[in-house]
Structure 1
Amino acid sequence: MNVHIRIPGSLYTAAIEDLRRPHGFAFERVGFFSTSTAELGADRILVLLTKYHAVPDDHYLRDRSVGAMIGSDAIRAAMQRVLDERLGQIHVHLHEHPGEPRPSRIDLRDTPRVVRSLSSVGPKQTSGYMILSDDGAWAELALPGRGVPATATKITVPGFPFLFLR
């Protein structure tokens, strides 16, 4: 399956700037992208990221065992956006290094639970999680009507310069 994620340049810049901001106690930041999905043909899907949502500082929990732990308020806010806007949500955070990022053991353990919560309130929407790096990206998505998660095959940022993150 060919799954292409497209992030408008201004949205990508806003997300990176937010995710790089220091937090009072968390080692990294978390945000959410809103999604709109189009099926372009047999096994060709385009996921457009339409808005970025920063997680407010008071929605983080103190937990030194992870880079950032968001609480139920942050997850409920994302779930409410799915219901109100009828758009999916992608959980996103940043691994600050060059090259393609990969999910950590903690990412693989914890983030799919958030995605399941998002998908439960918006089964007809695309939700998932994404990891950005200095010059790359990785994402796994829960696509409507499909029982298994799909890894994005292409992630691009149109604009100048046009970026191919995956």
Structure 2
Amino acid sequence: MDRNPGEPHEALSMNVCLKITSAMLAAIREDLGRRHAFAHERVGFLTAGASALLGPDLLLTARTYRPVDEEDYMPDPSVGVKIGPGAMRKALQAAYRPPAAILHIHTHGGCGRQHFSGVDKQSAGDFVPSFFNVVPRMPHGIVVLSDDCANGLLWLGPDHQARSFVDIVAVGAPLSKYGDM
């Protein structure tokens, strides 16, 4: 992987892990599985604390989940779902105090590790950098779920490349770990 100008060399080998309770993950999957009047999928936002681990590793700990309100969905037949500025404002307000990472979350359904679509990557590349305007010292990213797995991308700054989560761990009974095993 090529290094971005100004990005520390140590950050290239950073391992990112997200920990979330099994109960919260189940509630998110249930919420995202609800039908919508016109959108083909639902989305929400996680807030998370961030802690540096030994070396360059980073641990994100899920704090809260905020589903996008009905009035913040916008009809757009060119994409599966489109949300308006009100949804982004509410997510940023939730992450402002105490400062938290913001993770846009949605599901592709099915089983196994899901990959981000081209639309997912392009739209995240447009909106994630704006999160740093409000919460500049926290990382921000996106998560995609399946019915039994999860995958994530994280940005450390508005001009940094996204990096994949190494692990997403659902803590509780049963313990689940998604990622490089």
Q: Would you say 1:139 and 2:141 are equivalent positions?
A: no
Deviation of 1:13 after TM superposition, in Å, equals: 1.1
> Where do 4+ consecutive residues of structure 1 move more than 4 Å?
none
- Within the candidate set 22, 29, 34, 1:9 is matched to 22
How many pairs does the alignment contain?
Answer: 166
Q: Is the 8 A contact 2:19 2:168 kept in 1?
A: yes
| Aligned position for 1:20 | 33
Q: Choose 1 or 2 for highest CA Rg.
A: 2
Matched, 1:72 2:85: yes
What displacement does 1:126 show?
2.1
Shift of 1:148: 3.0
Give, as a single letter, the amino acid of the residue that structure 2 aligns with 1:4. Answer: C
Residue 146 of structure 1 deviates from its aligned partner by 8.4
Match of 1:97 among 96, 107, 110: 110
The aligned amino acid for 2:58 is I
The alpha-carbon deviation at position 83 of structure 1 amounts to: 2.0
Map of 2:11 onto structure 1: none
Q: Cα distance 1:146–1:62, how it changes in 2: closer, same or farther (>3 A)?
A: closer
**Distance (Å, rounded) in 1 between the aligned partners of 2:127 and 2:158:** 18
Amino acid at match of 1:13: A
For structure 1, the residue ranges without an aligned partner over 5 or more in a row are: none
1:110-141 CA-to-partner distances (Å, cap 9, x unmatched) read 12222111122111112111101111111111
In 2, the alpha carbon distance for the partners of 1:115 and 1:89 equals 9
- Structure 2 letter corresponding to 1:68: V
143-152 vs 74-83, which deviates more?
143-152
Question: In the alignment, what sits opposite 2:49?
Answer: 36
Report which of the two has the higher share of strand. 1
Match of 1:148 in 2: 161
C-alpha change, 1:145 and 1:45, in structure 2 (3 Å) is farther
TM-score (normalised: structure 2): 0.86
Compute the displacement of 1:85 (Å).
Answer: 3.0
Deviations 1:41-60 (A, max 9, x none): 11111111111001001100
Q: What is the percentage of aligned positions where both structures have the same residue?
A: 32
Q: What TM-score, normalized by structure 1, do the two folds share?
A: 0.94
